[in-house]
Structure 1
Amino acid sequence: MGSKRRSLAAKPNKEPKLSRTDAPAGLSPLDWQRGLRRQFGREQAFGLENLGSEPFFSEFRVSNPVSKSSYRVAIRGRGPGGNFCSCPDYATSELGTCKHIEFTIGRLEKKRGAKTAFARGYQPAFSELYLRNDGKRRLHFRAGTDCPAELREAAAGLFDLEQDGLLPEERFGELERFMAVASKSGHEFRAYDDALDFVAGRRDADRRAALLGQVFPSGAADPKLLAVLKAPLYPYQAEGALFAVKAGRALIGDDMGLGKTIQAIAATEILARHFGVSKVLVVCPTSLKYQWQSEIMRFTGRHDENAVRVINGGRAQRQKDYALTDFCKITNYEKLKPDLDLIAAWAPDLVIVDEAQRVKNWNTIAARALKRVDSPYAIVLTGTPLENKLEELISIVQFVDQHRLGPTWKLLHEHQVKDEAGRVTGYTGLEKIGQTLAPVMVRRRKSEVLRQLPSRTDQNLLVPMTEMQSLHHQENADAVAKIVQRWRKTRFLSDKDQRRLTCALQNMRMSCNSTYLLDQESDHGVKADELAALFEDLFADSEAKAVVFSQWTRTHDIIIRRLDKLGLGYVSFHGGIPSDKRPALVERFRDDPGCRVFLSTDAGSTGLNLQHASTLVNMDLPWNPAILEQRIARIHRMG
């Protein structure tokens, strides 16, 4: 029997598998991140379609059969920097590559002639203006083989050909003239979408700054700016509004109580009057939608039918609402994803995002949907831009300007402090982040603008009732209506009817806080949740304390549940507390740093002095205005 001999060719050494969480020793963060995308891209089963006529250096469509998404990829070589992909990762990572580019290169390398083609390099007949993002976004020019002499000469006078045709920052103003020369040359000249968007953004910013200088020559102190709304702006608020307009897309991160809403409304009016903004979308928590509607109408005087519309109801109703030509539409975070198509069709000019910190996890459905809402202008409002993790700030800023902070991997590498086990223990160099954000973010502390503020600031928050609250409220309102109707007929009320009337009116007021005040079982109502959210902002200041008034101790009960969940210390002060125990509660609130909230009823508040608190919240308003002033006097006293 003869034997068969089989020889096996040695397989090439495979690249070592890279960890997605820990950088290998001896590999820079940049090379690690590029390696991860190369590794991940080569493993994918994407679809690939050549959109051009060239086999290698062409434009391709890369499609993902799982997510049903597709991106345009341009291949100009093997190395990072010269290629392009329309995906978000390529736009922001500063790596010059992404999984779609690496997948495409991997597939092309398996084709016959690839080695020769990549060795020869990219030599198109046409010329290109393209954008590179190597730590900073910059324009480059690449001359084609058929580029005429006059265009080459014009390019040599503008671009730095020794640095891959880089456009120097100081020569940006001359680009428009060069592009006019290119368009008249008869030569094929390609300017890619990302490059054109970059150019348009720079031009818009320059024009906006020039026009603002003409309209408000005295800047934030200009009388025309201070009078842009029906209510006067404080100087720092005028500065904030002007800053937001000048930036185009901005983050207002002032302390709670400094009037972020009115600054956003003032900026909106400036954009509407001088920059053609006619469609504004406000995204806010559900409970604040009617508050926004009220304040826009109050401060701008826009009361006509198509001025300010709250988006409510089922899909069919929302579809009708988005089809209407309103100046402003107000929606909530939860409705963003299902309404993305309606929002895109309406095409807002300006998007205002209120209470951005409410979406703490920016990987949630609502947060991802928000990032897909497109508009030329954006204003994001949050009293706490950085709460717990740096990633929260990164995501908020990415909606404002996806390139401002650079890639997340780079920022975390530079600013995270880790222990030996790789756990994050803190952050370093945050002042550098502040400097980077200065062109798009304004943040003022109360201490900085104290002299501009009035001695006392009052704010009314409108909170809608839930369906169950409305049912209780309506039942008691019907009872009141019957008694009043009987009184109108007879001009007499029996003692029994008087008691019923008082009880029904009381029940109507109690139902506005929560159904718990009526049945002590259910808890339908959002006032306590809004209060909890307000506390998260307020207590970002480690020394802040608040007094909360309600006529009923049952309101204290539902608030206490939220305080326990937040881990906030409190005291409950009411008429049932023996007089000899009361001083100790006041002392604890005054002296204990962990005791942040003083819950009180009118019955227990006589003679209290709680001036060390900075905020007073009335969960319900008393019938008598004098009692309201007495409550406020607990923390605000003349002299």
Structure 2
Amino acid sequence: MMRSKRGNTKSAIKPNREPKLSRSHAPADLSPVDWQRGLRRQFGREQAFGLENLTSEPFFSEFRVSNPASKSSYRVAIRGMGPGGNFCSCPDYATSELGTCKHIEFTLAKLEKKRGAKAAFARGYQPAFSELYLRNDGRRRLHFRAGTDSPAALREAAAALFDADHDGMLPDDRLGKLESFMAMASKSGHEFRAYDDALDFIAGRRDAERRAARLNELFPLGAADPEVGKHLTVPLYPYQAEGALFAVRAGRSLIGDDMGLGKTIQAIAAAEILARHFGVTKVLVICPTSLKYQWQSEILRFSGRKGENAARVINGGRAQRQNDYRLDDFCKITNYEKLKPDLDLIADWAPDLVIVDEAQRVKNWNTIAARALKRIDSPYAIVLSGTPLENKLEELISIVQFVDQHRLGPTWKLLHEHQVKDEGGRVTGYTGLEKIGQTLAPIMIRRRKSEVLKQLPHRLDQNLLVPMTEMQMLHHQENADVVAKIVQRWRRTRFLSDKDQRRLTCALQNMRMSCNSTYLLDQETDHGVKADELAALFDDLFAEPKAKAVVFSQWTRTHDIVIRRLEARGLGYVSFHGGVPSDKRPALVERFRHDPACRVFLSTDAGSTGLNLQHASTLVNMDLPWNPAVLEQRIARIHRMGQTRPVRVINFVAAATVENSSR
């Protein structure tokens, strides 16, 4: 009995604890907002963060919360117990729309244990100074709180500008009057605090208004204004001029046009407009490694800028990259893999505009490269993606977060509203996506080929420069040395033996083959970039259900490495070459024409004449023939009578090789 009584007494005085919340399933009795706030309260109170009070105020003060594990710290301002009024400089607070975060909840938990906390919080936040601050509990809004020492004139002006019924909120239509009020407050002799996040919000709104007004002055006719095209060395199609002006007007934007509509030239045009009229002097292009030299080539070609300072490819080891970032360049071009190690160099260089190409290639936006990308700060940004939404809504959310972290709201809220789940909690689909499209309209422009068909050229040829791997360059250089020796001998003697002629032809052939892959030389290794670039191109192209493509290469071994990529993606194909018996060839052509699952026609020059392949409107040359007439014969397979769509011809050219020098 004694033990039972003692046990009952002990349980009776045990403090009540909040039930443990699941991170994956919301309790039935909690709204999604309360569940998310509860998770942050639960997680924050479990942490062993450091806490430093930055002022002499014991409770309603500013604090530094530090995480010893990540070696990061954030500024926390406490104004009360409830959500919304407090502030934290962490990304979660900025985007969650919950008005709280784990750092705020950790700080509140520590303050609650201090003597006098209950009375202080019951009395409320009553500072002597006045403050302009930003609340983010569902929507970002400016608020003003008058201090206890606030002069009567300042209180009167505040009453006319801010809405007292909504905790001193500034209505959107009164933002234009805020500047004069802040000037008055600063001159009043009374302490007036305007916090950084509030000032950034005001500056962003003002910049957008001024930029729009300036664009209306510069281009009163919009995309039809001939002045837009004068910013490049080549004319823009109307939809391209529209895209460039859209990107400049938005400041930070996503161009999601279909593949082949010229997203690159739109971004370059926007960069030139920003450079000439809005003070942009530093542009950072982030793209896949294989596209860096292509970007350099097109910037020089379209912008008309000259010299190595116009567009510099960032390469080499840390020391070389460090030196490159110190140089006074208009544009620097880097790849995703170098973002994390070079964040400090990029921050010191401080780009005005960041262009992110092929954003859809970052499949997992929780990778090191993706997290590093989101840490790059710049006033302007342009993201390019032919397929901004491929499979998961989360991919689009993360891309948009780089452009405008507040546009779509918090991820938890968006997924709650748009995901469709079965009874087991598995995501089975999405709903209400048209609402997301409307939300993105101010920052995202997307045109499909069918929408701008009349503006497109009948045929568009494009050389895509791709880099060589170290092993490719080794093979290429070995054979180049053979060629150089034979040429020197010919210059000296003006004679080549049959043996030398055969060796010369073989070495040149090997140089060309090495540009595709080392597999063409040893049939074992597969060091090369072209096949992977082709696969990435197909990922974009075949997002359109009926799209088909013809791929030419002089060598069937190129077919072998391409087929591996096609089969890995489950794409149907036919392979047409000289080894296919004549009676089997018509069936291959018929399958490509009529089988919806057959997306790719692989061909050697055996198929460069006599075939009608107008079912495709994209032709890719993995390697270019020496004879221009043979090249035109290839292109004529799809660019011929009966073709109802614009034709796109893509030539893969290995940079700094016999292919590039021969063009």
Tell me the TM-score range normalised by the shorter chain: over 0.9
- CA positional deviation for 1:226: 1.8
- 2:558 matched residue in structure 1: 555
Equivalent positions of 1:526-545 (< 5 A) are 526-545=529-548
- CA positional deviation for 1:208: 0.5
- 1:488 matched residue in structure 2: 491
- 1:281 matched residue in structure 2: 284
SS at match of 2:638: coil
- CA positional deviation for 1:163: 0.6
Structure 1, residues 90-145: CA drift from partner, whole Å, max 9, x if none? 00000000000001111111111111111111111111111112222110111111
Equivalent positions of 1:4-19 (< 5 A) are 8=10, 10-19=13-22
Q: 1 CA distance for matches of 2:445 and 2:14?
A: 58
Any stretches of 5+ residues in structure 2 without a counterpart? Answer: 643-663
The amino acid of 1:148's aligned partner reads P
Match of 1:251 among 241, 250, 254: 254
Structure 1, residues 356-381: CA drift from partner, whole Å, max 9, x if none? 11111001010000001110000000
Structure 1, residues 149-196: CA drift from partner, whole Å, max 9, x if none? 000000011000111001011111100011011011111111111000
Equivalent positions of 1:196-275 (< 5 A) are 196-275=199-278
Equivalent positions of 1:189-200 (< 5 A) are 189-200=192-203
Match of 1:580 among 577, 580, 583: 583
- CA positional deviation for 1:73: 0.4
Say whether the 8 Å CA contact 1:220–1:226 is kept in structure 2: no
Alignment of 1:615 with 2:618, yes or no, is yes
- 1:525 matched residue in structure 2: 528
Q: 2 CA distance for matches of 1:184 and 1:376?
A: 30
- 2:367 matched residue in structure 1: 364
- 1:66 matched residue in structure 2: 69
- CA positional deviation for 1:12: 2.7
- 2:457 matched residue in structure 1: 454
- 2:448 matched residue in structure 1: 445
- CA positional deviation for 1:604: 3.5
The amino acid of 2:78's aligned partner reads I
The amino acid of 2:303's aligned partner reads T
SS at match of 1:462: strand
SS at match of 1:492: coil
- 2:467 matched residue in structure 1: 464
Q: 2 CA distance for matches of 1:626 and 1:304?
A: 34
Any stretches of 5+ residues in structure 1 without a counterpart? Answer: none
Q: 1 CA distance for matches of 2:290 and 2:537?
A: 12
SS at match of 2:562: helix
Match of 1:436 among 439, 442, 450: 439
Equivalent positions of 1:471-482 (< 5 A) are 471-482=474-485
SS at match of 1:447: helix
SS at match of 1:457: strand
- 1:591 matched residue in structure 2: 594
Say whether the 8 Å CA contact 2:608–2:630 is kept in structure 1: no
- CA positional deviation for 1:305: 3.3
Structure 1, residues 292-350: CA drift from partner, whole Å, max 9, x if none? 00000111111123211110000000010001111110000000000000000010000
Say whether the 8 Å CA contact 2:54–2:62 is kept in structure 1: yes
Structure 1, residues 409-453: CA drift from partner, whole Å, max 9, x if none? 000000001011110001111111000000000000000000000
Alignment of 1:113 with 2:99, yes or no, is no
Alignment of 1:634 with 2:637, yes or no, is yes
Structure 1, residues 49-91: CA drift from partner, whole Å, max 9, x if none? 1111111111111110100000000111111010000000000
- 1:306 matched residue in structure 2: 309
Alignment of 1:152 with 2:184, yes or no, is no
- 1:21 matched residue in structure 2: 24
Alignment of 1:601 with 2:595, yes or no, is no
Q: 1 CA distance for matches of 2:111 and 2:351?
A: 41
- 2:519 matched residue in structure 1: 516
Q: 2 CA distance for matches of 1:116 and 1:355?
A: 56
- 1:91 matched residue in structure 2: 94
Say whether the 8 Å CA contact 1:130–1:140 is kept in structure 2: yes
Say whether the 8 Å CA contact 2:576–2:606 is kept in structure 1: no
Which piece of structure 1 moves more, 389-398 or 600-609? 600-609
Please report the TM-score for the alignment, with normalisation by the length of structure 1: 0.98
Please report the TM-score for the alignment, with normalisation by the length of structure 2: 0.95
SS at match of 1:458: strand
The amino acid of 1:384's aligned partner reads T
- CA positional deviation for 1:599: 0.5
Q: 2 CA distance for matches of 1:121 and 1:398?
A: 35
Q: 1 CA distance for matches of 2:626 and 2:139?
A: 61
Match of 2:45 among 42, 61, 85: 42
Match of 2:509 among 487, 506, 517: 506
The amino acid of 1:316's aligned partner reads A
SS at match of 2:23: coil
The amino acid of 2:245's aligned partner reads L
The amino acid of 1:295's aligned partner reads E
The amino acid of 1:204's aligned partner reads D
Q: 2 CA distance for matches of 1:282 and 1:67?
A: 29
Q: 1 CA distance for matches of 2:345 and 2:313?
A: 15
Percent of aligned positions with the same letter in both sequences? Answer: 87
- CA positional deviation for 1:18: 0.6
The amino acid of 1:314's aligned partner reads G
Say whether the 8 Å CA contact 1:227–1:233 is kept in structure 2: no
- 1:169 matched residue in structure 2: 172
The amino acid of 1:240's aligned partner reads G
Q: 2 CA distance for matches of 1:95 and 1:107?
A: 20
- CA positional deviation for 1:477: 1.0
Q: 1 CA distance for matches of 2:550 and 2:272?
A: 35
Q: 1 CA distance for matches of 2:270 and 2:175?
A: 28
Say whether the 8 Å CA contact 1:550–1:619 is kept in structure 2: yes
The amino acid of 2:493's aligned partner reads T
- CA positional deviation for 1:407: 0.1
Say whether the 8 Å CA contact 1:34–1:95 is kept in structure 2: yes
- 2:326 matched residue in structure 1: 323
Q: 2 CA distance for matches of 1:133 and 1:597?
A: 51
Equivalent positions of 1:107-146 (< 5 A) are 107-146=110-149
Alignment of 1:344 with 2:350, yes or no, is no
Q: Which runs of 4+ in 1 moved over 3 A?
A: 5-9
Say whether the 8 Å CA contact 1:545–1:612 is kept in structure 2: yes
- 1:294 matched residue in structure 2: 297
Alignment of 1:55 with 2:58, yes or no, is yes
SS at match of 1:541: coil
- CA positional deviation for 1:278: 0.4
Match of 1:417 among 417, 420, 445: 420
Q: 1 CA distance for matches of 2:158 and 2:174?
A: 12
